[in-house]
Amino acid sequence: MLAPNFPGRKEDAVRRVSITVNGAEHDLDLDPRELLVYVLRERLGLTGTNVGCDTSSCGACTVLIDGESVKSCTVLGVQADGQEITTIEGLATNGSLHPVQEAFKDTHGLQCGYCTPGFVMATVSLLRETPSPSEEQIRHGLEGNLCRCTGYHNIVRAVQQAAGVGV
């Protein structure tokens, strides 16, 4: 097993940060190299945010930072200090799904579901910026997220339905 003086353990480099996640404030001691996605998943137990690639290509880890969609595998936890983060777990209110979540469900906009939290968060952000997008705007607006199951057809329908109800 590991030697106690392991070179990766730089306790003196740990930084205290304060991050608000889904409305709750968390004071955390973070290793500077910890990615935000692992802070969310492993420190806070918010495993709805998924990791799909190593190269910020797939968007499975998309969350909102101060309302804008960000790939949380490309953000260091310490960079989120003082910011407000919304994850997929923070969208439903009083047990009711967010209209974007409802729309993905209604239109069969997911199959295996692994990319879905990222797509939902990216859609929330897209509709905030462009409330009534054309199909082309939807397709280009979501091109940072990859899905291997749906061929995107029903994801586009989901975004259209969500836009129709005015998110």
Among 4, 8, 95, 166, binds another protein (CB under 8 A): 8
Beta bridge partners of 18: 27
Among 37, 39, 44, 50, binds another protein (CB under 8 A): 50
Q: Check residue 54 for interaction with another protein (CB under 8 A).
A: yes
Beta bridge partners of 84: 20
Q: Which stretch binds another protein (CB under 8 A): 15-23, 80-88, 95-103, 149-157?
A: 149-157
Among 47, 153, 164, 165, binds another protein (CB under 8 A): 153
Q: Check residue 95 for interaction with another protein (CB under 8 A).
A: no
Q: Check residue 55 for interaction with another protein (CB under 8 A).
A: yes
Among 1, 4, 24, 166, binds another protein (CB under 8 A): 1
Size of the site for another protein (CB under 8 A): 44
- Exposure of 77 by Cβ count < 10 A (0-12 exposed, 13-18 middle, 19+ buried)? buried
What sign for the dihedral angle of Cα 13, 16, 18, 19? positive
Closest CA to 159 of 65, 136, 148, 66: 136
Residue 10: phi and psi, rounded to 5, are: -115, 75
CA separation for the pair 71, 145 (Å, rounded):
10
CA separation for the pair 49, 117 (Å, rounded):
6
Q: Check residue 120 for interaction with another protein (CB under 8 A).
A: no
Where along the sequence are the contacts to another protein (CB under 8 A)? 1-2, 6-9, 31, 33-34, 38, 50-55, 57-58, 60, 108, 111-115, 135, 138-140, 142-156
